[in-house]
Structure 1
Amino acid sequence: MEHLFAGWRAQFVTGGERASGCVFCTIGAESGEDDRHYVVARGEASFVVLNLYPYTSGHLMVVPRAHIGDLAGLSGPLVEEMLGLVRSAHDALQAAYQPEGVNIGMNLGRAAGAGIVEHVHIHLVPRWSGDANFMSTLAETRVLPETLSDTMAKLRAHWPPG
């Protein structure tokens, strides 16, 4: 019999104790802690970070360093930088994982599914035909075949130059 252990998800699933303050602001300010926070790349005003609770291996987010809670707060240059990072992240995902598709989007507001409502961010989720298998559908469990550290190393190795 095979065992699936994902004890690290218990805090997320049960809504357990969470760090105070905005996690994205903390990550944005602690540039010397990129490995610990799973930051794949940084721009001048935004960064790319792995989702700690990914839907699939390679699930990334592009996040502004500034604490901005809605689209109206994003300046033109920040939007341009963030979309440039979305493109670079997409290219790295393609090179590292060869997904059959990639979902790219934002969840604005709790009703839309935002886990961190007060700080906008863009998700990139690589997808494959049949990736919502019986484990996700019946057992409400996702099986991720690699650690976040391995995912980060793989994506950094394929990050486009420049």
Structure 2
Amino acid sequence: MNRQDKAQIIEQLSEKASRASIAVVTGFAGLTVEHTTVLRKDLRESGVDFQVVKNTLARLALKDTDHGVLCEHFKDNCAVALGYEDPVPLAKALAEFAKKNKKFEIKFGSLEGRYLDENGLKELAKLPGKPELLASVLGTMNAVPTNFVGLFANLLRNTLYALTAIKEQKEKEAA
């Protein structure tokens, strides 16, 4: 690989990493091409870039980004997964793949500039994703007015029952 190709790889990876909210470094030693292709397809569906890159090039590319904290940890063969919006789907997809393929390992990562070890990434994978959190918040926000309307309707209903009972009592007294 000549200098021009290396410079292009560094530039592309650096541009992607500067846009990414999460970067995860994985080990892929022992995986077959078929397994790696399945992983790339799954990650692409989640909106994630997955790239096998030399450690030196990855260090140079990530150095001036939020994910620069990863530079000192690169060892052995590595691949970098970059997520751009919600970090949870990336962590979940990698955790699922790691469960199915024992040779695949999640090494470490960076979430908006903070270093995460393997355990931190596994905990991130257990969290609900952005859609689930939004649904939960929306449900909570919807519950307040719904409960208020129900409470108000019960108050009016009870007042109506009391007025009906008074009317019936007055009618019995008049008869």
| TM-score after normalising by structure 2 | 0.28
The structure having more radius of gyration, on CA atoms, is 2
TM-score normalised over the length of structure 1: 0.29
Decide which structure has greater helix share.
2
